[in-house]
Amino acid sequence: MGLSEFEIIERFFATAAIRREDVLVGIGDDAALLQVPADHEVVSTMKTVVEGVHFGRGANPQSLGHRVLAIALSRLAAAGATPAWVTLSLTLPEANEAWLTYFSTGFTKLAERYQVQLVGGDTVRGPVIAIAVVANGFVPMGQALDHRGARAGDLIYVTGTLGEAGLALLAERGTIRPSQEVRARFQARLDLPQPRVAEAKVLRHLATAATDLPDGLVQGLGKLLHASGVGATLYLMELPLSPETIPWLPAAGGRSFAAYAGGDYELCFTIPAEHQAAAEMAIAKLNSDCTWIGVVDTAPGLRGVLEDGSLDTLQ
């Protein structure tokens, strides 16, 4: 490609204002040198997306830059980690400066919001655009959240609202036809997911397990329950929905759409009943929302309670 690896990284990414004190050697060298705070553990996650598989040709590069970092930060959030460093592998058919400008803007803006520093990477040529991100964060020793701690009797919560990113996909396909304003709202949820970093952090002491929901509530919670060796019952009528979402549910297949639709990147967590008030208050203090949507029980599988009280097997 026209620009060398070093030039690409320098010109498009090194402009980010983040200069973390724990980054002793950052981008530009063959290897980064990094400090982990005492009594903390490292949480690390990797995400790869490929053009034609995870996103279409001509996908908005600024959304893409945001989205690929958001996906990785969302996973860190689900572990209760504070994001710190990120490494980026960029495969490009050509060094398209406009594309790089928009991509790096989306990436860098989100990185700045979470004080995440790009500490290394690789830019290579390839037949299609492919992006691999490794994100690393810290968590105080012994306080990381994972999928394995949910116990029968725990309450199941979810942050924010569900279904808007899924409705954006239905609008793209023409299955639903919301107003331009509502469609833009749904599209923003799909294109610019917001990782629940702050919410997960205050839940470290309170939650028994947590997961983010890239592929929807049923899939994410299902994985968590399986890892914990328990099952759950969801109150489908309690799933948190935005007012804009409700009119489109019938066309989307009913209320359970919000249980299956992915892309919202909300956080689902389980808490013992005695932490319920503390968790709700901690989330409210962040000017954020969480909703009690179900209960962990001993019977394996995931059941949904419908409006008429009947049970539906979700997974």
Contact call for residue 31 and a copy of itself (CB under 8 A) = yes
Contact call for residue 73 and a copy of itself (CB under 8 A) = no
Contact call for residue 159 and a copy of itself (CB under 8 A) = no
Contact call for residue 118 and a copy of itself (CB under 8 A) = no
From 128-136, 194-202, 261-269, 283-291, span contacting a copy of itself (CB under 8 A) = 128-136
Nearest to 88 by CA among 113, 71, 107: 107
Contact call for residue 111 and a copy of itself (CB under 8 A) = no
Q: How, if at all, do strands 290-297 and 231-235 pair?
A: antiparallel
Neighbours of 6 (CB within 10 A): 12
Which x/- pattern over 225-264 shows residues binding a copy of itself (rule: CB under 8 A)? ----------------------------------------
Nearest-10 Cα torsion for 195, 201, 205, 207: -10
Cα–Cα distance measured from residue 51 to residue 49, given in angstroms and rounded to the nearest whole number: 7
Q: How many Cα atoms are found within 13 Å in the side-chain-facing hemisphere of 92? A: 20
Identify the DSSP state of 5. H
Contact call for residue 97 and a copy of itself (CB under 8 A) = no
Which residues ranging from 33 to 62 are in contact with a copy of itself (CB under 8 A)?
A: 33-36, 38, 41-50, 52-54
Q: With contact defined as beta carbons under 8 Å apart, do 164 and 244 qualify?
A: yes
Q: Which of 144, 207, 267, 296 binds a copy of itself (CB under 8 A)?
A: 144
Neighbours of 70 (CB within 10 A): 26
C-beta closer to a copy of itself: residue 6 or 312: 6
Contact call for residue 95 and a copy of itself (CB under 8 A) = no
Q: With contact defined as beta carbons under 8 Å apart, do 208 and 79 qualify?
A: no
Q: Which residues bind a copy of itself (CB under 8 A)?
A: 24-25, 29-36, 38, 41-50, 52-54, 75-76, 78-79, 81, 85, 87-89, 91, 119-122, 124-128, 130, 132, 134, 136, 139, 141, 144, 146-147, 211-212
